[in-house]
Amino acid sequence: MNGWTVTQTVFDSARQHHHETIFTIGNGYLATRGTFEEGHPQDRRTTFLHGVFDAAPFVVTELANAPDWLPLEIFFNGARFGMNQGTVREFERALDLQNGVLTRRVMWDSAQGERATIVFERFCSLAAPHLVCLRVSITPQHAADIKLRASINGIALSDGTQGEKLAHWEFLAQGLSRDAWGGEREGNVFLRTRTFHSQVELGAAMRVQTTRGKELTREFWDARNVPTLLLRVNAEAGETVVVEKYVAYFTSRDVEKTRVVDAALNQVNAVRDWDDALAENSAAWEKEWERTDVVIEGDDEAQLALRFNLFQMLIAAPRTDDRVNIGAKTLSGFGYRGHAFWDTEIFMLPLFIYTAPHIAKNLLNYRHRLLSGARAKAKANGYEGAQFPWESADTGEEVTPTWVPHYLDRSKLIRIWTGDIEIHISADIAYAAHQYWVASGDDAWFSEKGAELILDTAKFWAARAEWNETEQRYEYNDVIGPDEYHDHVNNNYYTNRLAQWNVQTALEVLAWLKQHAPHEAEQLLEQLDLSPARLAKWRDVVEKMYLPALPNGLLLQFQDFLERKEVDLASLEPRVISVQALLGIEGANETQLLKQPDVLMLMYLLQNEFSHEQVQLNYDFYTPRTDHTYGSSLGPAIQAIMACQVGKPDDAYEHFMRALRADLYDVRGNADDGIHAASAGGTWQAIVFGFGGLRVTRDGWTLEPRLPKHWKRLAFRFFYRGKPAVVDLDNENAKTQGT
């Protein structure tokens, strides 16, 4: 156990989709699922490039599965190597989280009795993000005539919502590259293709070379849309043959569309050799881990699983592009089609705000760029300001499907209401912009962009607020809060309070701007039409917002929540499915059972506002009502933080491990669809804000560590206002540096 390697030693076809998700590798520009180079029946071969969306039925738009760079077939004296052919004698797959290299070692016997050891290694270069590298080392036991087929497969299909296959790419051209004098430039192969609807052009280039062993022949096989190089190599008994394959991608999002192929060819030509490409990649990873790594001593499982979750965040994070976001399933699967949710702002962003502010800024800039989409959505609904879409892709329009096939019976459709009425996301985005500002002290960004996000969402909230004449209060009715077991509810506490926070903060931001950035203040006042009458209305909304609560301090999930049926969760055991799957959508709606604990979530976000007693009261009330095991994967990490706050680090540990294991153990049975990104981001928050007890305000930060008993050490780093801080804790002492 070195704390850095995720290993699989038994191959089981039945679990292949789960393992494909786990062994996803990437570099923030693209990611590729852990399918096998030679292919396997029913594999879900995907490479997703950030921002390359295309129209799709039901879901409006989805990430287009890009041409596949993995194909590498191997034939031994005519027998094709495959995990489902011949006999797999030994198998091991290992993902090295330290540098993102995925290795598979197989000892294999063909049906004819040929034995060979084959080692595949691959990585998506973090140093040169357009480049992906693959190498195979083949050692046959007896002298063998080995043939290899290396391709780029342009017939990349996506899995549709009903299991159908969708094509997104229109073939444009392919061939062997020629140099300026008409000769072949090292015989590299290219493919040019384009998405049907969004018209993104993509150029891919492939360079293949035999670096050990004797290459006898090489042929270009001009199969349409699958340009292929056929190699014949001869290996003596026990001799190792090494073949390397380098592929590069460029799209018209990166360069002029006439240059996509050239740029890709240049990239593969620029590779000196494997060791060099790997060394550059490893050096880039070292820098990432310097900022991001968390050390847990005394708990090997937690250590490795946490690094795995952080790795998933790091391979999904856009480092140079602020036109993209991170989808709820990162770039690792077809789930949610690459769409971004509040998962980014509330669950993933804190990790980046505190460890990689440049990435946080990219993600927030994405929202700022797409304000026009949010304004259009508000307008279409009859409101002013910016109403962000529940699901967002490349244009900022709402891309939540309104109908999807029923999860139990695909011949039926279910109406999805979240795009219409799960409105809290606008406040979540405003909250995140503010949090970035507080932690980074980036006043320039805030005056230029962050303030506008907060002001324009406030404008929406003030317009959306409904005045209840009888009760003399503002309300938000017919909404879905974060807890999606209850839809069409009135006055969800989380939504109302965060909307109120949004408007109140907007007023404070305006005052700050007037003082510190008067020019921007004036511009925004005019551009957003923030007249005195409008601001007076904002103050009224803040003052008279209805926040449903009992006199004893219990915050109500939503108005009338207590009228729902009380159900003892234990009475539903044993179960391996969610409360909603068990009781049905309507059935769950009628109970007090929660998919995720809204109220506790709110208490976490606005943690400086609640007394310890009030947190305890609400914790005790909502914890037994929450479907921790099979409800939302977003819940456990936050529940862990709240358990720490009420002084229960051992309960916290249980929730934390549930979050950590979400994908590694496929806790909810849907890891096939991709990584649970919010859960992964949440695990970092559980470490830092839960066990570490970090609290940050504009005046500084404090720690109140509460480690699980068996942890010997917890160490992490973060940036506060540009300054690095190192936290090193054990169960007795907290040591910090860099304050």
- 300's enclosing H/E stretch is helix 300-316
Taking the complex as a whole, the smallest distance from the CB of residue 678 to ligand BGC amounts, in Å, to 5
Point out which span in 92-100, 338-346, 530-538, 683-691 binds ligand BGC (CB under 6 A): 338-346
**Is residue 672 close enough to count as binding ligand BGC by CB under 6 A?**
no
Angle of helix 649-661 relative to helix 677-685, nearest 10 degrees?
150
**Is residue 667 close enough to count as binding ligand BGC by CB under 6 A?**
no
DSSP state of 638: H
User: Is 265 within 8 Å of 188 (Cβ atoms)?
Assistant: yes
Ranges assigned E (strand) in 252-286 = none
**Is residue 605 close enough to count as binding ligand BGC by CB under 6 A?**
no
Residues 93-112 that bind ligand BGC (CB under 6 A): none
**Which CB atom, from 342 or from 718, has the smaller least distance to ligand BGC?**
342
Taking the complex as a whole, the smallest distance from the CB of residue 111 to ligand BGC amounts, in Å, to 45
Task: Choose which of 204, 260, 263, 328 interacts with ligand BGC (CB under 6 A).
Answer: 328
Task: Tally Cβ neighbours within 10 Å of residue 574.
Answer: 4
- Please pick, among 484, 586, 704, 732, the residue that the annotation labels catalytic: 484
Q: Where do runs of H (alpha helix) occur along 326-414?
A: 342, 349-355, 357-369, 371-380
Identify the CA nearest to 718 among candidates 734, 694, 691, 699. 694
Among this protein's residues, is 90 annotated catalytic?
no
Per rule CB under 6 A, count of chain residues that contact ligand BGC:
11
Point out which span in 212-220, 300-308, 336-344, 641-649 binds ligand BGC (CB under 6 A): 336-344
**Which CB atom, from 139 or from 312, has the smaller least distance to ligand BGC?**
312
Which positions from 38 to 57 touch ligand BGC by CB under 6 A, shown as an x/- string? --------------------
Identify the CA nearest to 26 among candidates 288, 273, 205, 272. 288
**Which CB atom, from 316 or from 678, has the smaller least distance to ligand BGC?**
678
- Interstrand relation of 131-140 and 115-124 (parallel, antiparallel or unpaired): antiparallel
Point out which span in 95-103, 163-171, 339-347, 522-530 binds ligand BGC (CB under 6 A): 339-347
Residues 406-445 that bind ligand BGC (CB under 6 A): none
Extract the tokens encoding 382.
Answer: 């009859």
**Is residue 634 close enough to count as binding ligand BGC by CB under 6 A?**
yes
Taking the complex as a whole, the smallest distance from the CB of residue 460 to ligand BGC amounts, in Å, to 19
Task: Tally Cβ neighbours within 10 Å of residue 163.
Answer: 8
Residues 474-503 that bind ligand BGC (CB under 6 A): 482, 484
- Interstrand relation of 184-195 and 713-720 (parallel, antiparallel or unpaired): unpaired
**Is residue 344 close enough to count as binding ligand BGC by CB under 6 A?**
no
**Is residue 678 close enough to count as binding ligand BGC by CB under 6 A?**
yes
First and final CA of the chain: distance in angstroms?
33
Taking the complex as a whole, the smallest distance from the CB of residue 596 to ligand BGC amounts, in Å, to 6
**Which CB atom, from 98 or from 679, has the smaller least distance to ligand BGC?**
679
Q: How many helices (H) and strands (E) does the chain have?
A: 21, 31
Give the separation between CA 103 and CA 84, rounded to whole angstroms: 19
Taking the complex as a whole, the smallest distance from the CB of residue 584 to ligand BGC amounts, in Å, to 16
3-state secondary structure 50-113: CCCEEEECCCEEEECCCCECCCEEEEECCEECCCCCCEEEEEEEEEECCCCEEEEEEEEECCCC
Task: Choose which of 502, 578, 632, 639 interacts with ligand BGC (CB under 6 A).
Answer: 632
Point out which span in 124-132, 141-149, 335-343, 434-442 binds ligand BGC (CB under 6 A): 335-343
For residue 446, report the phi and psi dihedrals to the nearest 5 degrees: -65, -45
Give the separation between CA 89 and CA 610, rounded to whole angstroms: 60
Point out which span in 248-256, 340-348, 545-553, 637-645 binds ligand BGC (CB under 6 A): 340-348
Give the separation between CA 81 and CA 703, rounded to whole angstroms: 55
How far apart, in Å, are the Cα atoms of 122 and each of 105, 112, 243, 465?
A: 12, 29, 12, 53
**Which CB atom, from 60 or from 617, has the smaller least distance to ligand BGC?**
60
Give the separation between CA 660 and CA 305, rounded to whole angstroms: 6
- 684's enclosing H/E stretch is helix 677-685
Taking the complex as a whole, the smallest distance from the CB of residue 391 to ligand BGC amounts, in Å, to 8
Taking the complex as a whole, the smallest distance from the CB of residue 424 to ligand BGC amounts, in Å, to 10
**Is residue 343 close enough to count as binding ligand BGC by CB under 6 A?**
yes
Extract the tokens encoding 666.
Answer: 């496929």
**Which CB atom, from 594 or from 714, has the smaller least distance to ligand BGC?**
594
Give the separation between CA 29 and CA 386, rounded to whole angstroms: 29
Taking the complex as a whole, the smallest distance from the CB of residue 595 to ligand BGC amounts, in Å, to 6
Task: Choose which of 4, 311, 341, 493 interacts with ligand BGC (CB under 6 A).
Answer: 341
Give the separation between CA 481 and CA 417, rounded to whole angstroms: 11
- Enumerate the active-site residues: 484
Binding region for ligand BGC (CB under 6 A):
328, 336, 341-343, 482, 484, 595, 632, 634, 678
